[in-house]
Structure 1
Amino acid sequence: MRSDEETKQIVFDAARRAFAVDGYAATSTEELARRAGISTKTLYRLFPGKAALFEALCVDRLERLLSAVDLQTNDEVDIETGLRAALLACADLALDPDVVALQRMVLQESAAFPELAANFYKNGISRTVTTLAGWLRVQVKRKRLAIDDVEEAAGILIGMIASAPQRAAIYGGVPLPSRKDIERRARICAVLFLDGCRAAPK
């Protein structure tokens, strides 16, 4: 006998594949139950509907990713190294293949199902911003950074590190960047954020 938690993970795996291939609207609860190898009665006992399943799927995936995020706040690490590490952690979240696949599906289905976009934003995008803002707040408190609005700064930084690769993957069919490419991008973003790029006056 499987526990409910084990069964939920099987359903999540089946739903991720089904939503990515067929889309949210075209995937029925009966098809999800069949793919997961359970009855529709069991599926409805675990999730009251498809929207609740999608929200739980997003929460589960992002919880797993966020639990692996360790934004270093050690004073022994210089601010540029610490910021690069924080940006890499956020990029790992934003550019995770499963997260990008979910985002692609949300964009395709959001006109008909606006609650999908709202749930994805609440459980994904805004939580990533909050996580980075918390790290920035610690750096401000320790007087290593001077920022008036840490939430706004966190949004700007996540846009710098992840938005262009996300758009290229979702709209242009471009492969997600390699780890080496993400590390290079994190270095550039950290320098731009900390030092700017205005040329020094002659």
Structure 2
Amino acid sequence: MESDIESPPLGKREANKLDRRQAIIDAARHSFLEDGYAATSMSGLLKTLGGSKATLWSYFRSKEELFAAVIEDLTAAFREELEGSLLGSSGIEATLWNFCSSFMRKMEHPDTAALRRLIIGESARFPELGQIFYDRAVIHVEHAMTAYVASQIAAGRLHDEDPKKMAQFLLGLCAARHNQRLWGVVAEQDAEVEADSQRFVGYFLRLFRTSEPPAPLAE
């Protein structure tokens, strides 16, 4: 049972610490996306932010940890939106259309494109970047779609195959469209996003949808 008691407001010191942490993340995000991972340094961030090295390191013990916080900050709201799009009561087709459209729009956001260029370009020297991005962003979306596919298999709407591989198939179709951004091509219009979403979902359902209607749920 949820409590009706509201959490006490943060004290001034705690609020200041949260504001300071967010300011560090914002400055780091700008530097990572504009200058790259290798060119971003903790000492360089100090010049932008001011303050002492000890204070900065009290928030983030390494550049790698700071990069992980930036990924978390960039993707948290998006992950929540995508996961929420799979929880509605719409039919499978409408639910997947909505999910794919949201996913592709976010993938074409300039910050997302810059982040993926950074990871692709610098992972050879810093292999931890790809792992951080996967752990903080990709895996959450993959898990949400896998869980949804598994629920549709259980309901008899999709063939009983590996739900993770099925989820990866649909996500792969949507992600491939993002290559236009990586190559510097201007993003397409919303109408084209919607058309691609319907087309990709159509491919997915033609492969995996059962021919028989699902059995009614037991009361």
TM-score range, shorter chain: 0.7 to 0.9
1:168 aligns with 2:148: no
Answering whether residue 105 of structure 2 is matched by residue 105 of structure 1, we say: no
Report runs of 4+ in structure 1 exceeding 4 Å deviation: none
2:197 to 176, 186, 189: 186
TM-score (norm 2): 0.79
> Greater CA deviation, 181-190 or 89-98?
89-98
Q: Which runs of 5+ in 1 are unaligned?
A: 197-202
Alignment-derived partner of residue 177 in structure 1 = 188
Q: Aligned partner of 1:173: which letter?
A: G
> In the TM superposition, what whole-angstrom CA distance separates every residue of 1:19-64 from its partner, at most 9, and x where no partner exists?
1221111111111223234433221110001011001111222222
User: Paired residue for 1:127?
Assistant: 140
Structure 2 distance, partners of 1:125, 1:176, is 21
Q: Structure 1's 93 and 25: CA in aligned 2 closer, same or farther, altered over 3 A?
A: same
DSSP-derived class of the 1:3 partner: helix
2-structure distance, mates of 1:134, 1:84: 17
> What residue ranges of structure 2 are gaps of 5+ in the alignment?
1-12, 208-219
| 8 Å contact from structure 1 (residues 140, 146) kept in 2 | yes
The aligned counterpart of 1:199 is none
Among 79, 83, 87, the residue aligned to 1:66? 79
Alignment coverage as a number of residue pairs: 193
In the aligned structure 1, how far is the partner of 2:64 from the partner of 2:77?
20
Q: TM-score, normalised by structure 1?
A: 0.85
Q: Does the aligned pair in 2 maintain the 1:87–1:186 contact within 8 Å?
A: yes
Deviation of the 1:6 alpha carbon: 2.0
Q: How much is the aligned-residue C-alpha RMSD, in angstroms? A: 2.0
Q: Quick one: percent identity of the two aligned structures?
A: 28
Report the secondary structure of 2:125's partner residue.
Answer: coil
Change (3 A) 1:74 1:122: closer
Q: Which amino acid aligns with 2:191?
A: K
- Aligned partner of 2:133: which letter? F
Secondary structure (helix, strand or coil) at the match of 2:177 reads helix
1:200 is aligned to none
Matches within 5 A, 1:34-49: 34-49=47-62
SS in 1 for 2:186: coil
Task: Kindly provide the CA deviation profile for residues 131-175 of structure 1, in whole angstroms up to 9, marking residues without a partner as x.
Answer: 11111111112112224111111111011112232x2212x1113
Contact 1:71 1:135 in 2 (8 A): no
The answer to whether structure 1 residue 87 and structure 2 residue 100 are counterparts is yes
Contact 1:62 1:93 in 2 (8 A): no
Question: Do residues 136 (structure 1) and 152 (structure 2) align?
Answer: no
CA positional deviation for 1:73: 4.2
SS at match of 2:158: coil
Shift of residue 184, structure 1, vs aligned partner: 1.6
1:109-146 CA distance string (max 9 Å, x none)? 11111111111122122221111111111111211222
Amino acid at match of 2:128: E
Q: Secondary structure at the match of 1:25?
A: coil
**Equivalent residues of 1:66, 1:93 under 8 A apart:** no
